[in-house]
Amino acid sequence: MSLFSSLRESTAPPVAVEIAAGRVSAAALEWRGGQPVVALHAIEPMPEGALVPSLTTTNTHDRSAVMTALNRVLDKMGRPRRISLAIPDVVAKVSLVRFEKVPPRQVDLEQLVRWQVRKSAPFPIEEAQVAYVPGIRADDGQEFIVSLARRENINEYEQLCAEAGAHAGLVDLSTFNVINAVLASSGAPTTGPSAASGPSRAQSTDDWLLVHVSADSTSIALLRGPQATAAQSRRAPRRAGGRDRSEGGRRAHRSHHGRSGAARFARAARRTAAARSRNADGAGMIRSNLSTRPFYNERAVRFWLLVLAVLLAAATAFNISRVLRYSHSDTQLAMQATRDENRAADLRQQANRLRATVDPKQLEFASTETRQANELIDRRPFSWTELLNRLETTLPPDVHIVALRPKVDRKNGTVLTINVLARSVDDVDVFMNNLEATGAFRSIGSREDHFNEQGLLESSIESTYVPASAKEPAKP
């Protein structure tokens, strides 16, 4: 069962009200000892013509009289908020339709039912309130009992109840309720093995006929066990000058028009002989509902609202905890930032005071002296004799040094730029390899190479020079 279907399903209210031509009646059921018992009942008459049931026109002609009778009945029933409403049979058109294949989706089935009954509707199908329930399932398809009424007429009856303070979320036809009352009784007809023969209709498994006679109409239904196979309803005629002023009656059909009622009943009886009936609790009950505002499962709605409220409360509590946590953290960070700003301000003040006590000339003189001392310290490990000796031992015969420039770099130490003349690139490579082999020359590379007019190769070599004296640890 889906979530939405569970929300739509609801238990029937304990009070049922019937609004008919000439009267309003009601009954309340209670369960005693596992059996339903009529606990309260009431009936109030209405003036003739106050309410005239009709399929196509307005039913209420004296709204004040109808409301007076309805309020009196509801007062006697204890003013229930939820009621089931039974309306006259002639307010709706009942059809029996069959489909060889039933669509699996409810929305597709509803569209198919509406399409099937649209031609027999005396008004546009868009204005119709349609209810349908499964009927006989035979070898040639599934049958459905379809009730068709003008939505405006159903709203008319629902508004009467709403003005009286009751929600009619279950609206059905009177004859259907009579059939359901018979089927719900202990002697209801069944489709099981044949019972003992006897005059009692309630114990028969054969076809049985129900005749429902009321002040405004007469309805006949043919059933096999709990299954309805045919139905017919005719409004009671109102004669004036010897002519029938009724609407001609509303009858159920099987989408075969122009046939006699006897032929339809005979054909229905033959079909039911081969029908496969369901045998379960509530099977065969006509559970149709023409209400435009049906009941919903209040318990399920309350449950899901409670679940939603718990989730919202949990989310709110989580958000509040995070807000408090971040607020506390933000407070601590703000305090730390304030302390750091105060500390920085103190240090700036101390620095300003110290700068105020220092003579700028003395500071500049000390800086100059320090820079000169550092240069002397940097030059102290450098020895030209050691450098020239190393170059002499590594210089190939065909390579001549034409320029030598040392440069002191605080990051890389002493950087040498050596300009040489050679006969070929190979001679320069030999020289560079010899320099690297000494271990005193690092990061050796050729910056520029070209041949001069005499055909000799002029090459500029750059290397980091680490004298042996600089490698030795300083003596104390």
Which CATH number goes with the domain that contains 397?
3.30.1360.100
Q: Does 169 lie in the same domain as 306?
A: no
Q: Which residues pair with 441 in a beta bridge?
A: 465
Q: Does 166 lie in the same domain as 238?
A: yes
Q: Which of 276, 262, 144 is nearest to 209 (CA)?
A: 262
Tokens of 43: 């009936």
> Looking at residue 199, what is its pLDDT?
38
**Within a domain: residue 372?**
no
Neighbours of 327 (CB within 10 A): 10
Most confident range, picked from 275-289, 320-334, 462-476: 320-334
- CA 387 to the chain's CA centroid: 84
Q: Which of 19, 13, 14, 12 is nearest to 71 (CA)?
A: 19
Tokens of 381: 């490990």
Q: What is the pLDDT of residues 210-250, one digit of tens each?
A: 888 877 788 888 887 777 777 777 776 654 443 333 343 34
Q: What residue type is assigned to position 450 of the chain?
A: H
The domain boundary, picked from 295, 312, 333, lies at 295
The domain boundary, picked from 275, 295, 315, lies at 295
Instruction: Give the pLDDT mean for 348-374.
Output: 79
**Within a domain: residue 198?**
no
Q: Edge-to-edge strands of the sheet including 227-235?
A: 207-213, 217-224, 227-235, 250-251
- C-alpha 408/C-alpha 405 separation (Å) is 10
Phi, psi of 100 (to 5 degrees): -65, -40
Q: Does 255 lie in the same domain as 352?
A: no
The sign of the dihedral angle between the CA atoms of 234, 238, 242, 248 is: negative
> Looking at residue 16, what is its pLDDT?
93
Length of the chain: 476
Total structural domains in the chain?
3
> Looking at residue 296, what is its pLDDT?
73
Q: Does 46 lie in the same domain as 147?
A: yes
Instruction: Give the pLDDT mean for 54-77.
Output: 94
> Looking at residue 240, what is its pLDDT?
46
User: Strand 217-224 to strand 207-213: parallel, antiparallel, or no bridges (unpaired)?
Assistant: antiparallel
Q: Does 288 lie in the same domain as 306?
A: no
**Within a domain: residue 107?**
yes
Question: Residue 177, SS3?
Answer: helix
Residue recorded with tokens 């009784």: 185
* Mean of per-residue pLDDT scores for the chain: 78
- In sequence order, which ranges of 358-450 are alpha helices (DSSP H)? 360-379, 384-394, 425-438
The CATH number that applies at residue 155 is: 3.30.420.380
* Residue 66 pLDDT grade (very low, low, confident, very high; cuts 50, 70, 90): very high
**Within a domain: residue 367?**
no
**Within a domain: residue 365?**
no
**Within a domain: residue 266?**
yes
Tokens of 38: 């009529």
Q: Which domain holds residue 405?
A: 381-471
> Looking at residue 53, what is its pLDDT?
93
Q: Does 324 lie in the same domain as 240?
A: no
Tokens of 249: 């009656």
Q: What is the pLDDT of residues 427-467, one digit of tens each?
A: 888 888 988 888 888 888 888 888 888 888 888 998 888 87
**Within a domain: residue 373?**
no
Element housing 330 (H / E): helix 298-357
Q: What Rg, from alpha-carbon coordinates, does the chain have?
A: 54
In this model, does residue 165 exceed pLDDT 70? Answer: yes
Q: Are the C-beta atoms of 236 and 249 separated by less than 8 Å?
A: no
Question: Residue 418, SS3?
Answer: strand
Q: Does 314 lie in the same domain as 211?
A: no
Q: What is the pLDDT of residues 274-286, one digit of tens each?
A: 333 333 344 557 8
> Looking at residue 257, what is its pLDDT?
34
* Residue 378 pLDDT grade (very low, low, confident, very high; cuts 50, 70, 90): low
The domain boundary, picked from 271, 295, 319, lies at 295
> Looking at residue 340, what is its pLDDT?
92
Q: Does 267 lie in the same domain as 317?
A: no
Q: Does 304 lie in the same domain as 282?
A: no
Q: Does 227 lie in the same domain as 160?
A: yes
Q: Does 102 lie in the same domain as 182?
A: yes
Q: Are the C-beta atoms of 166 and 73 separated by less than 8 Å?
A: no
DSSP-derived secondary structure letter, 276: B
Q: Does 257 lie in the same domain as 309?
A: no
**Within a domain: residue 454?**
yes
